[in-house]
A and B are shown apart, each in its own frame.
Chain A
Amino acid sequence: MSKKKNAEAYQKTFAFRFFRWLSGEKDPYTGTLEMHPQKEYQPDREAALRHEKEHDAIMDKVYDTEHNRWLHLFHRLYQTTSVLFCLFLIALLLVTVSYLPANGTVTRPVNNEVSARYIEKGLEETGAVNIVAGMILDYRAFDTLGESHVLFVATITVLILLRLNKTEKDEAEVSDRRFEPKNDAILQVVATFLVPVIIIFGIYIILNGHLGPGGGFSGGAVIGAGLVLYLNAFGFQKTERFFTEKTYKWVCFFSLSFYCLAKSYSFYTGANHLHSVIPKGTPGAILSSGLILPLNIAVGLVVACTIYAFYAMFRKGGF
């Protein structure tokens, strides 16, 4: 049985709009998409000339090869010696490699009692199914504590270099609006679908760090990538509503403090041969393996915020 729609109802259907768009009668994005008309290129002749002249003068000074035979010779020598140096280094290391124990065999010195205990007792002693996670967050946790502080100190240096003060920030805002696309509809639609998926995937990786491949660093990087995609699609005005410099500061502070204090407790009890009250749980369950899961979450938060902070700093010099 077929029912005939009247013309008015038909015009509301998806099919009608789709065919209209297909035949090019109407662009659904007119009026919703922000479009910048291309400005005619108007070169500032004087400034360009001045800049070019300055540049030439410097280049002449740095690479005055025509008038300076020595410099010319030096550049030649530099190139040859760098290639020779590289070849020498390669030869040296290849000889070294040729004397190393053969790859892939069991009898190498690397496969000793250390790795044996990690594999055989790892599940029992740390409660983590993922032996690598158990190793870096329990057996050798001090390295990993240092490593998250490497990331922290790197963000601090990036903040020192690129963070702008109030007036500079407004200028940066203007130039950011000029150079970066705004409200790109394709990007926005794709981002609406992808960002939740990416972030949920990141959370999954973090929460399963002790059960399978993954962990705080990789999961945090995935979440950070999701945030960067969101920022690219919707711009700073949207992200500012939930992520400002304050958010970054406090999230990092709480995660790193938790990390520091939790690990201090475990180091202190370990070194003084005290009993640690943190339960190991049943291996394989999501709530197991003692401190590894909370540590993974803390690390994941720090890494996600750091990745986003790096991107925001590189792009605009602020959040």
Chain B
Amino acid sequence: MDFICNFPFFSILLSLFSGTVCSVLSAKAARIVNRVVILAVGLMSAALLFYLLSTGESFIYWMGHFPAPWGNEIRAGVLEAGMALFFCIIMYLSMAGGAHKLPSEVVESKHNLYYILVNLLLSSLLALVYTNDMFTAYVFVEINTISACGLIMIRQVGRTIEAAVRYMIMSLLGSGLLLFGLCIMYDLTGHLLMSNIKESVELIVANGEYQVPLIVSVALMCTGLCIKSALFPFHAWLPDAYGYSTVSSAAILSSLVSKGYIFLLIKIIYRVIGFSVFNSTRMIDVLFVFGLMGMIFGSLSAIKENDIRRMIAFSSVAQIGYIYMGFGMGTQAGMVASIFHILSHAATKSLLFIAAIGLTDVSGGSRKFVDLTGAAYRNKWAGAAFTVGSLSMVGIPLFSGFISKLLFAQAAVQVEGKMLASLIVLGISTVLNAVYFMKTVIRIYTSEPEAPYEGITFRNMRAYAVTLVCFILLNIILGVSSQPVVDMIGQGLAMFA
């Protein structure tokens, strides 16, 4: 085995260990450790991705001295390595973009706790991406949940604590269902490792035995992960959590945390249940319907909103609806579109949150649209970045959002029964997106000569502006050279089987 195969294990353990180390460091040292760890993990994931692309085969890594059905395992393929790399990029940029706001949002003595949470969140995301074991996945889902809750309520105002409670309640319902589904699955198969469960599930389906518990178990696990990733009717906690937590937290939560659960669901669909078995259950229709409803209702709530950050948060509900719509189509193309949308949404949504804070800062800290008039002239970089994010969300060519909409439309055309519904809703949702994002863009570019607020120049926000430029570049790269990314996703999905 090549030495590079150790990299997934190194990245998980490094980020876990750095969480422990940060607990005895000062805030400044913890911040440096945090940055270095994210960079190191990102570099390792990139190296791993190139290695896997060159060999073209996924590999299994033993966590201990024991082989498949007895010990824990992690597994790395193109999709996993790519996701890990992408998560690191987004996390690094989000942390960098929100760093200048942190002192005003969090008490000084709690800064190192903040970095502990971020490190542990990173490790749990990596573990969810790489794991090949259902129970390990459950344990790291819990770490993910608790540290995400910590990220929400570290800025201690009433709203965030209430949002944290609501988030915890929803998440705990989700993990309860996930664990119960897992236990039923364990009872039917006698295994906890994904590949072994899949073999047994194929036997069960072939024998026709235990059909009812199998379907219920699949349904419970799916519902649990849907609840945790804030699919439409379970999104009550989301606007307050994203709208009032610290900037970096909002960017990380919206772009990474829910995506970790969705990626786990993809893994479960492909590596535990099997794509064809999953498609034969009614579950995909349920996901499809709720995805469509989320696309419409999320956008409608966003239009009604008068607060820029809550508006962006509601837009997340709609975007998660897109992803589940792709699952619901039940085809390979739909899945590819969903995974691409995970990437494009993560890149765009964190950009929007980071840009929004630049705009509100030059408007006296107010998030109301009235006060934001002309904000793009006062902070040119944030204005440009927000415009790029909005155009991407609406689906203008050149930006990543366009490609994901295109992929969704292409996938929808191939599905007989669901074509009309998905195309119509895709159209409506695009129009609704355009309504509220363009409204905001026009508002921030409406010049207001008597604005009582002062503008900010590049010199005073170098790090912030550089972060925004990186985000914009990332978005354009995803939008312009999408073909290699789509090919990679296809290759990764092929490795899953």
Using Cβ atoms and an 8 Å threshold, which residues of chain A touch B149?
157
Binds B, one of A13-21, A48-56, A260-268: A260-268
B65 interface residue per 8 A CB criterion: yes
- Highest count of chain A CB atoms <10 Å: which of B63, B133, B200, B213: B63
Contact with A along B97-121 (1 / 0, CB 8 A): 0000000000101100100110010
CB distance A272 to B139 under 8 Å? Answer: no
A249 to B30, CA, bound (A): 15
A95 interface residue per 8 A CB criterion: yes
Nearest A residue (CB) for B121:
A153
A145 to B20, CA, bound (A): 12
CB distance A100 to B213 under 8 Å? Answer: yes
Contact of B150 among A92, A157, A250 (CB under 8 A): A157
A143-B70 CB under 8 A given contacts A100-B184, A110-B187? no
B294 interface residue per 8 A CB criterion: no
A196 interface residue per 8 A CB criterion: no
Using Cβ atoms and an 8 Å threshold, which residues of chain A touch B216?
92-93, 96
A154 to B24, CA, bound (A): 17
CB distance A99 to B212 under 8 Å? Answer: yes
Binds A, one of B11-19, B389-397, B398-406: B11-19
CB distance B24 to A249 under 8 Å? Answer: yes
A295 interface residue per 8 A CB criterion: no
Using Cβ atoms and an 8 Å threshold, which residues of chain B touch A110?
186-187, 190
A125 to B69, CA, bound (A): 15
Contact of A147 among B109, B133, B139 (CB under 8 A): B139
In chain A, residues 178-215, which have Cβ atoms closer than 8 Å to a Cβ of chain B?
Answer: none
CB distance A276 to B65 under 8 Å? Answer: yes
Contact of B64 among A160, A165, A267 (CB under 8 A): A267
CB distance B63 to A270 under 8 Å? Answer: yes
Using Cβ atoms and an 8 Å threshold, which residues of chain B touch A270?
62-66, 71
- Highest count of chain B CB atoms <10 Å: which of A93, A160, A165, A273: A160
CB distance B135 to A114 under 8 Å? Answer: no
B195 interface residue per 8 A CB criterion: no
A285 interface residue per 8 A CB criterion: no
A95 to B212, CA, bound (A): 8
Using Cβ atoms and an 8 Å threshold, which residues of chain B touch A163?
109-110
Closest CB in chain A relative to B4 CB, distance in Å:
12
A159 to B107, CA, bound (A): 13
A40 to B367, CA, bound (A): 51
A142 interface residue per 8 A CB criterion: yes
CB distance B187 to A108 under 8 Å? Answer: yes
A160-B154 CB under 8 A given contacts A256-B20, A271-B6? yes
Contact of A250 among B24, B116, B120 (CB under 8 A): B24
A253-B24 CB under 8 A given contacts A99-B210, A159-B113, A271-B9? yes
B72 interface residue per 8 A CB criterion: yes
A153-B187 CB under 8 A given contacts A146-B140, A161-B153? no
A282 interface residue per 8 A CB criterion: no
Using Cβ atoms and an 8 Å threshold, which residues of chain B touch A150?
139, 142-143, 146
CB distance A114 to B6 under 8 Å? Answer: no
Using Cβ atoms and an 8 Å threshold, which residues of chain A touch B143?
146, 149-150, 153
CB distance B150 to A149 under 8 Å? Answer: no
Contact with B along A151-179 (1 / 0, CB 8 A): 01110110111010100000000000000
Using Cβ atoms and an 8 Å threshold, which residues of chain A touch B13?
260, 264, 267
Using Cβ atoms and an 8 Å threshold, which residues of chain A touch B117?
153, 156-157
Using Cβ atoms and an 8 Å threshold, which residues of chain A touch B69?
112-114
**Chain A residue total in the interface (Cβ 8 A):** 57
Nearest B residue (CB) for A154:
B146
CB distance A96 to B184 under 8 Å? Answer: yes
CB distance B63 to A142 under 8 Å? Answer: yes
A235 to B147, CA, bound (A): 32
A-B contact count (CB 8 A): 171
Closest CB in chain B relative to A295 CB, distance in Å:
13
CB distance B187 to A101 under 8 Å? Answer: yes
Contact of A271 among B62, B156, B184 (CB under 8 A): B62
Contact with A along B78-113 (1 / 0, CB 8 A): 000000000000000000000000000001011001
B189 interface residue per 8 A CB criterion: yes
A266 to B211, CA, bound (A): 40
- Highest count of chain A CB atoms <10 Å: which of B149, B161, B200: B149
Using Cβ atoms and an 8 Å threshold, which residues of chain B touch A11?
none
B497 interface residue per 8 A CB criterion: no
B276 interface residue per 8 A CB criterion: no
CB distance A156 to B150 under 8 Å? Answer: yes
B21 interface residue per 8 A CB criterion: yes
Using Cβ atoms and an 8 Å threshold, which residues of chain B touch A159?
110, 113
Closest CB in chain A relative to B141 CB, distance in Å:
10
CB distance A149 to B120 under 8 Å? Answer: yes
A264 to B140, CA, bound (A): 17
In chain A, residues 111-135, which have Cβ atoms closer than 8 Å to a Cβ of chain B?
Answer: 111-115, 117-118, 125
A117 to B62, CA, bound (A): 17
A273 to B66, CA, bound (A): 10
CB distance B146 to A109 under 8 Å? Answer: no
In chain A, residues 242-259, which have Cβ atoms closer than 8 Å to a Cβ of chain B?
Answer: 249-250, 252-253, 256-257
Closest CB in chain A relative to B152 CB, distance in Å:
10
Nearest B residue (CB) for A261:
B17
A108 to B188, CA, bound (A): 8
B408 interface residue per 8 A CB criterion: no
A161 to B6, CA, bound (A): 37
Closest CB in chain B relative to A20 CB, distance in Å:
55
B136 interface residue per 8 A CB criterion: yes
Chain A interface (Cβ within 8 Å of chain B)? 92-93, 95-96, 99-101, 108-115, 117-118, 125, 138-143, 145-147, 149-150, 152-154, 156-157, 159-161, 163, 165, 249-250, 252-253, 256-257, 260-261, 264, 266-273, 276
5 further A-B contacts with Cβ under 8 Å, apart from A150-B139, A153-B150, are A139-B70, A140-B192, A270-B63, A271-B6, A271-B63
Chain B interface (Cβ within 8 Å of chain A)? 1, 5-6, 9, 13, 16-17, 19-21, 23-24, 61-66, 69-72, 107, 109-110, 113, 116-117, 120, 123, 127, 133, 135-136, 139-140, 142-143, 146-147, 149-150, 153-154, 156, 161, 184, 186-192, 200, 210-213, 216-217
Give me the 8 closest cross-chain CB pairs, A-B, nearest first. Answer: A270-B65, A146-B139, A142-B72, A109-B190, A112-B190, A157-B150, A142-B63, A96-B216
Q: List 26 A-B contacts (CB under 8 A).
A: A93-B216, A96-B212, A99-B212, A100-B187, A109-B188, A112-B69, A114-B191, A139-B66, A141-B63, A142-B133, A143-B135, A143-B139, A146-B143, A149-B123, A149-B143, A150-B142, A153-B117, A250-B24, A253-B20, A264-B13, A268-B6, A268-B9, A271-B5, A271-B61, A271-B64, A272-B1
